[in-house]
Amino acid sequence: MPTFSKSLVWFRRDLRMFDHAALFHALRQSREVYCVFIFDRAILDSLPRRDRRVEFILDSVIELNQELRRKGGRLIVRHADATKEIPALAEQLGVDAVFVNRDYEPHAVSRDATVADELRVAGRQLLAFKDQVIFETDEVLSLAGKPFSVFTPYKNAWLKKLHLAGDDFFLKAYPVETYCTRLADPPPLLCGDMPALADMGFEKTNLSALGMPTGMSGAETLLKEFGSRVDQYHISRDFPAVKGPSYLSMHLRFGTVSIRGLARKAVHAMRLQGCSGSATWLSELIWRDFYFMILHFHPHVAERCFKPEYDAIRWESGERAQILFNAWRTGATGYPLVDAAMAQLNQTGYMHNRLRMVTASFLIKDLGIDWRSGERYFAERLNDFDLSANNGGWQWAASSGCDAQPYFRIFNPITQSQKFDAEGKFIRRYLPQLSALPDKHVHAPWLAPASVLRQAGLVLGRDYPLPVIQHDAARQATLIRYAVVKKSSVTALDE
């Protein structure tokens, strides 16, 4: 027999009908289940008025509502403060419990605690379930019962736990379809109209022009397409001009795809085909769990360095630092791979993973700018922004994070360009003013002979900027800057 008469499922970063932990448990334990999504003003009011993420969410919510209606329910949608709206809606619907999938970001944890308190006062419950990770918080610990701070042993323990339980145990889908007859159509007065972007103070973006498919159907399309080339993922993923990644990161961020479904596909491909590409892809999914775990056990990383001694580093400041930062964020550093990557981010909201490392290293270890400035800029611009992964990536580049690159490892933007965009295809796509340069010179135009620049019709300083800094000098300055952390003399590794 169901435990509850009426329940409410609060959708957040889990915008799908299938393999949904909270929805499954609510349907299984309740006679009637209502569904709601809140465009939370506490989050949205701080965003730019043209934000692809909000448009993506709205399109995905519309599709989710259509699917719920086909199953006999309907999605209540509000633009409000979630901490006030959820308790109020629970009262209006007369539900016994609110079901959610657990969120791990500090703001979300605080929000959910507030909602839980309000519900408790009214005699209701907030029930939270694991859904956006395979293993959460303390599920993967060292033999000493401590959280890991290095990825490889964490990954090994993660895989061991998975396989000891049987590959399908932690990866099996929640059979939501079995109980869909318990979806309830809420009273018409509580439904209202689906808000438009303009109703919430937002404007249309170029999301559709970019060809980014949204919602559950969009995720399914991308996953099917990726399946035809995943066996080469371990090779192709490092080359930005090649169609290598899955492009599912935005869908993972907003839960239009199931992490269990993705990991299951990767594991099965490894087991049946010995696919190296799938093994690498699974490793990337494990990194995602790893960073969620780090954020849970070390919430200070949201503001400070994982390694406290790195907070002693003195970063560039003042007018010169602001000029350098502006050159970086606008793609005007004079280093083509860096500038093309920033152009990709600014124009599309996406940046290739290899280039996230290159641009972060350049900001931190060439320009000497605090990693937090770059982290905040990425948080504003990335379609797939996720606090734990974004923070983990930036602290990795800054050498201040867990299992980070050594402080003396410094990416050379020229050699990175020559290695991963040898023919300059990616550079030419986003920096068309360099399109006539020969492959040999497109990575460092300022080193090209005057005759080559004339033939390409390129005037440096007018058509494309001269370098804002010299990499070799910056490399030495980085070693001096990091000397407060490591006193010994070390030669920088220029990669």
pLDDT tens digits for 49-103?
Answer: 999 999 999 999 999 999 999 999 999 999 999 999 999 999 999 999 999 999 9
Q: Tokens 């999301």 appear where?
A: 207
From residue 313, alpha-carbon distances to 57, 299, 365, 367, 494 in Å are 39, 20, 12, 14, 21
Query: Around Cβ 491, how many Cβ atoms within 10 Å?
Result: 9
- pLDDT tens digits, one per residue of 93-134: 999 999 999 999 999 999 999 999 999 999 999 999 999 999
Which secondary structure element, helix H or strand E, spans residue 494, and what is its range?
strand 493-494
Average pLDDT, the chain: 95
- pLDDT tens digits, one per residue of 152-201: 999 999 999 998 877 679 999 999 999 999 999 999 989 888 999 999 99
* Buried b / exposed e along 123-145 (16+ C-beta atoms within 10 A): ebbbbbbebbbbbbbeebbeeee
Q: Is pLDDT of 488 > 60?
A: no
Active-site positions read: 284, 287, 315, 353, 371, 394
Domains of the chain, CATH where assigned = 1-131 (3.40.50.620), 133-172+217-297 (1.25.40.80), 308-494 (1.10.579.10)
What residues contact residue 348 under an 8 Å CB cut-off, 6+ apart?
Answer: 206, 210, 383
Q: Is pLDDT of 490 > 60?
A: no
Q: Is pLDDT of 445 > 80?
A: yes
Residue pair 302/387 in contact (Cβ under 8 Å)? The answer is yes
What residues contact residue 142 under an 8 Å CB cut-off, 6+ apart?
Answer: 148, 153, 157
Categorise residue 469: left if φ over 0, alpha if ψ from -120 to 50, beta otherwise.
beta
State the pLDDT confidence band at 363, using cuts at 50, 70 and 90: very high
Question: Which carries the bigger pLDDT value, residue 391 or residue 493?
Answer: 391
**128 vs 212: CA distance, rounded Å:** 31
pLDDT of residue 489: 46
State the pLDDT confidence band at 405, using cuts at 50, 70 and 90: confident
- pLDDT tens digits, one per residue of 449-485: 999 999 999 999 999 999 999 999 999 999 999 999 8
From residue 149, alpha-carbon distances to 159, 237, 284, 287 in Å are 16, 25, 16, 12
State the pLDDT confidence band at 487, using cuts at 50, 70 and 90: low
pLDDT of residue 367: 98
Strand pairing of 493-494 and 125-129? unpaired
Strand pairing of 4-11 and 30-40? parallel
Q: Is pLDDT of 1 > 70?
A: no
